[in-house]
Structure 1
Amino acid sequence: MSIFERYLTLWVAICIIVGVAAGHFLPSFFEGLAALEYARVNLPMAVLIWLMIIPMLVRIDFMSLRQVGAYWRGIGVTLFINWAIKPFSMALLGWLFIGWLFRPLLPETQIDSYIAGLIILAAAPCTAMVFVWSNLTRGEPHFTLSQVALNDAIMVIAFAPIVGLLLGLSAITVPWDTLLLSVGLYIVVPVIAAQLYRRWLLANGGIDKMNRALAVLQPISIASLLLTLVMLFGFQGEQIIAQPTVILLLAVPILIQVYFNSGLAYLLNRVSGEQHCVAGPSALIGASNFFELAVAAAISLFGFNSGAALATVVGVLVEVPVMLSVVWIVNRTKGWYERGAAVSRTTEARAAE
């Protein structure tokens, strides 16, 4: 495990503190950064997100989609959670907590925007950090790779319709042109650029050259992630300091959603008889969010100072510690998981082959 992975919570905490402090003491600097936009897309943020995502997408071989049949139980469970449960359960939780239970405690003008941010956060499964979570649970790498490749392929066509549908159900006006632009910029362009670069590396030096390139790109990706966090919390620094209660209230549906979806995925894998090394990453992929895309889309759709942007940033705030707690639960319950009747039968059948 790398130093970055080992002390991930520490690095994120430092970025949060630095970002909030910088946003508070250097507001004009962040206002200048916010002004650097084209078609409502912030250019510095777009560059950082590309630098963060593309190196991670270079690792993904979309030819690995041919392996999905080997892990059909885990693939099926994860797809069910990611695309049939998570966005809709978050919309329900957002309406229940933000739109009803917590409504008297929140700014009335931002209620719909908060719910929109939560929906955007849940509508795209995590791509980047999944490899870290999978490694921490000793997950099956081929399953993780094929699942991420499949999710990315689905996300290209499904993200905008799902977000548009759920925002429409929440009576929020959907700026379709901006939403489709966000999908193009933060999903389609990085996927195409990464796969073209991957093919060029393999054609001009093979796997060794790609590994050398990834060794150079990985620190750039990590640095971009940390700078993105600093920027996000810098843009929202004043709101975070001024509205600590809002932050805590927005965290409630996010926390419930993570534990509900990861728990459901874990149990469904156990009932289906899937191996623990697949069930662990399946639960984590099912629960985690592509927060880079969520933040970028929320900012593009509603602006830097919107409730939607704040809601997605709260998602970043709770993502790492909560996912690390899910990793701990998955690792600690391995014995219980493998005592499941369906898992035992699958293990015995494989041993007999």
Structure 2
Amino acid sequence: MTVAQRPRMSWLNRFLPVWILVAMGVGLLLGRTMPGIGETLARLEVGGISLPITLGLLVMMYPPLAKVRYDKTRKIVADKRLMTVSIVLNWLVGPAFMFALAWFFLPDQPELRTGLIIVGLARCIAMVLVWSDLSCGDREATAVLVAINSVFQVLMFGLLGWFYLQVLPQWLGLGASEVEFSFWTIVSSVLVFLGVPLVAGALSRVVGENIKGRQWYETKFLPAISPLALLGLLYTIVLLFSLQGEHIAAQPTAVVRVAVPLLLYFVGMFAVSLVVSKLVGMNYAQSSSVSFTAAGNNFELAIAVSIGTFGSHSAQALAGTIGPMVEIPVLVGLVYVMLWLGPKLFPGDATVPAANREARVVRNA
């Protein structure tokens, strides 16, 4: 049985935290020195979806989805343990945890609190593919979990929004928020941010393997397109942070008050998901996929819903845009935590990335 190997890291991967910090800094600097950039980007929208940001997300998501072996997905869907744990963590634990954090840290800020709760309702369907890939998670499992999240997003987002913003606060004697969600905003987010790169990735594998064979596809084509994922990520970060440079400088207290519960949310969800995955007997790769899927959020949808419902300059929209500011550096850090913890939590697991870069073989006893 061959031990999973951590691939030799390119210079882009090796210094990823540095590039992300630089991208964040460049974005904030652009937002401060070019205050009109937000209005310019706002004009480049179709149906409430930012075309420049969409371009970055599509480029970012294409390589991970092109790497998926889609012939393995049926077996993953049949894994009831994996499916059940992921659905419970994403659609029961995650929103409830964010609701509790939002009310605990922002009891006197209803607008920021509402924006934070909306972030918790928007489950991840995009960047988790990058985090899972960097941590050597199960690509096929991640793709399936992302697809399931997308279906639940369309079916459950409005219902959960009504429950957590109106029903549950009233039950607990707290203030309720009147919010109506655009069904089209949710559907279009799923179709664009997942549907397009998913179809492109699947077609690439089918066409590539039929014409050149699987060996060429996985040893030549995939390594050639892999850097696009991180380049797309860095480009997206620059745009997101440039949009918020002016707002962040104008409302530093609000940023900090929202960032604290977000930090606790991402770390807490990751830790709980990893522990639960380990306890139910999942291997390293599956645990990584489940943990990053549960910890991440669909900030694109959260921002779109907040802006569409409350306006681009609302406190709710500000809370949504602070999400990626916290999520991206935290989850990058958790990628390294996962790689470091892997051999310790999963000794003898064949899916743990090898500590060295030599090919190693472990024989069954």
Matches within 5 A, 1:28-67: 28-67=36-75
Cα distance per residue 1:147-170 (max 9 Å; x no partner):
212112213311123321222221
SS of residue paired to 2:297: coil
Aligned to 1:149: 143
Cα distance per residue 1:90-121 (max 9 Å; x no partner):
233324433x1xx2xx4x6x336523542344
What is the rounded CA distance, in whole Å, between the counterparts of 1:116 and 1:275 in structure 2? 32
8 Å CA contact 1:51–1:220 kept in 2: the answer is yes
SS of residue paired to 1:231: helix
Matched, 1:161 2:152: no
8 Å CA contact 1:114–1:307 kept in 2: the answer is yes
Matches within 5 A, 1:177-188: 177-188=184-195
In structure 1, give the amino acid aligned to 2:243: F
In structure 1, give the amino acid aligned to 2:145: N
Matched, 1:85 2:79: no
In structure 2, give the amino acid aligned to 1:158: F
Cα distance per residue 1:193-236 (max 9 Å; x no partner):
32223222222212214653333433333222211111111111
More helix by share: 1
**Structure 1: runs of 5+ lacking an equivalent:** 136-140, 340-349
Matched, 1:230 2:234: no
In structure 1, give the amino acid aligned to 2:151: I
TM-score by length of 2: 0.77
Matches within 5 A, 1:296-311: 304-311=312-319
Cα distance per residue 1:7-27 (max 9 Å; x no partner):
222111111111111111112
What is the rounded CA distance, in whole Å, between the counterparts of 1:75 and 1:196 in structure 2? 25
Q: CA deviation at 1:145?
A: 1.6
In structure 2, give the amino acid aligned to 1:313: T
8 Å CA contact 1:121–1:312 kept in 2: the answer is no
Aligned to 1:12: 20
8 Å CA contact 1:117–1:309 kept in 2: the answer is no
SS of residue paired to 1:236: helix
Aligned to 2:204: 197
Aligned to 1:344: none
8 Å CA contact 1:133–1:281 kept in 2: the answer is no
In structure 1, give the amino acid aligned to 2:187: L
What is the rounded CA distance, in whole Å, between the counterparts of 2:311 and 2:204 in structure 1? 32
In structure 2, give the amino acid aligned to 1:191: L
In structure 2, give the amino acid aligned to 1:316: P
Q: CA deviation at 1:83?
A: 3.1
Cα distance per residue 1:36-59 (max 9 Å; x no partner):
122222222222222222232111
8 Å CA contact 1:125–1:285 kept in 2: the answer is no
Matched, 1:265 2:273: yes
Aligned to 2:3: none
Aligned to 2:171: none
Cα distance per residue 1:231-290 (max 9 Å; x no partner):
111111101111121111111222222222222222223332444454344333332334
8 Å CA contact 1:64–1:145 kept in 2: the answer is no
In structure 1, give the amino acid aligned to 2:198: V
What is the rounded CA distance, in whole Å, between the counterparts of 1:111 and 1:192 in structure 2? 36
What is the rounded CA distance, in whole Å, between the counterparts of 1:245 and 1:193 in structure 2? 42
What is the rounded CA distance, in whole Å, between the counterparts of 1:66 and 1:29 in structure 2? 45
What is the rounded CA distance, in whole Å, between the counterparts of 1:61 and 1:301 in structure 2? 39
8 Å CA contact 1:34–1:304 kept in 2: the answer is no
SS of residue paired to 1:197: helix
8 Å CA contact 1:201–1:210 kept in 2: the answer is no
